[in-house]
Amino acid sequence: MSFSRFTGENATLLLIDHQVGTMGWVKSIPIDEMKRNALMLAKTAKILKMPVVLTSSMEEYAQGPLMQELKDVLPEAFENRIQRLGIVNAMDDENFAKATKAPGRKRIIIAGVTNDVCTVYPALSLVSEGYEVQVVADAGGSPSKMGDDMALRRMEQAGVVLTSTNQVIAELAGSWSTPEGMRIVPEVVMPSLQGA
């Protein structure tokens, strides 16, 4: 299998259900780490001018609203977020599927909460439709370690590439010496390494 890099010019970022209630259900990764990683992806996408689709499910219920920090980083994507009414597989939501496909890019990066419900099904659907999909495992999580492991294994067996936040950011940047790379290091990478 040959390697062809995901870049800011050829990939779309999907952030699925990073909601204050839903994130509280995650036990497979510390919530602060998961939240920081999702925000690192959002900030990187903004710097690289990547298309970003945000979605949430049933914000008025236990799942709660999307985390406010996403609005601060990606105000337009936040305003245009797809608010699903309980549809488990976001790709089964007509508006989400349309927004995901609108940029015309066949490479998709997904981070979602929870990996074992909200991430696995859109990832599987997109792979089955011929998309190249990377799931950022540490920018999401599940209520149990076993549930997370099963979801990641299922996705990988179906052809999803599993990655980590730092790995995909480095891949997207390509070089820290570009104008974008010079911004990503101090604005995204260094604050996370310093625990900010």
Region of 159 please: left (phi>0), alpha (psi -120 to 50) or beta: left
Write out the catalytic residue numbers.
118
Burial of 124 (0-12, 13-18, 19+ CB in 10 A): buried
Region of 120 please: left (phi>0), alpha (psi -120 to 50) or beta: alpha
Average pLDDT over residues 181-190: 89
Report phi then psi at 81, rounded to 5. -55, 150
Other C-beta atoms closer than 10 Å to the C-beta of 85 total 8
Per residue in 5-47, pLDDT tens? Answer: 999 999 999 999 999 999 999 999 999 999 999 999 999 999 9
Per residue in 98-151, pLDDT tens? Answer: 999 999 999 999 999 999 999 999 999 999 999 999 999 999 999 999 999 999
Average pLDDT over residues 63-90: 95
Per-residue model confidence (pLDDT) at position 1: 59
Determine contact, residues 18/63, Cβ cutoff 8 Å: no
